[in-house]
Chain A
């Protein structure tokens, strides 16, 4: 239903990750940072990021 392509780029000045996604049309998606068992994102001291969830929708293809 989706895929990530290309590299993940991290900007250490703005603490921002940038990446590309290919999603399917006319679908609602929910994205989650460090929710549930997904505890990946950590700061440089090893502290895991707080959970964050957001939703987006694609248009008709």
Chain B
């Protein structure tokens, strides 16, 4: 879904497909390395692009007042999703975006996470990896679009090979499992159960 959103954006298609209804809290990301000091500017740019795309954002001034009253800093909250969730109702916010911008292997990386009150864990958005600050500003419109359409859909298996109920198969098999959307390859985990002995194992 995220890749589809990116493809739509890059193809120049009108983006206002299904913007999120509720207001979004966008924190100023925790910035380090060459991005140190750009936290406010990156946050402002992201909020501005979300509004341009038809989204609604929580007043950042209101958010800052609230966290000050709680004795917290915005920098702290970028690492405290439960704290963010707890303040969303007071700000009449549906969800929040937070994260970090940092240097890794000579590249500037922007990690974004999205959280809502009823989500057990944040949705981790694929990081943007760019060469420099200018390039980072160039991807912020894409980031804004992704924020407006966070992926909450569970992927499903669309085909397997050998197919269901195949019989008289060879003992050595090439097996394929195809999913409906991009998967994290490191999460491969398949359960197999020989029907006659019932011992299930994960491979």
Give the B-binding residues of A (Cβ under 8 A): 1-4, 8, 10, 12, 14-25, 27-33, 35-36, 38, 40-50, 52, 54-59, 61
- Is B10 in the interface zone, CB < 8 Å from A? no
Interface residues on B, range: 35 or more
CB of A42, distance to nearest CB on chain B (Å)? 4
Q: A15-B183, A29-B194 are in contact. Are A44 and B126 (CB under 8 A)?
A: yes
Please name the residue on chain A nearest to B180 by beta carbon.
Answer: A15
Interface of A is mostly: strand
- Is B138 in the interface zone, CB < 8 Å from A? no
CB of A31, distance to nearest CB on chain B (Å)? 5
Q: A14-B178, A17-B188, A28-B195 are in contact. Are A59 and B183 (CB under 8 A)?
A: no
Assess whether B179 is in contact with A43, with CB atoms less than 8 Å apart: yes
Q: A1-B197, A15-B183, A22-B172 are in contact. Are A46 and B124 (CB under 8 A)?
A: yes
A residues near B167, Cβ cutoff 8 Å = 56-57, 59
- Is B171 in the interface zone, CB < 8 Å from A? yes
- Is B131 in the interface zone, CB < 8 Å from A? no
Assess whether A50 is in contact with B155, with CB atoms less than 8 Å apart: yes
Q: A20-B174, A22-B171, A23-B171 are in contact. Are A43 and B164 (CB under 8 A)?
A: no
Assess whether B185 is in contact with A10, with CB atoms less than 8 Å apart: yes
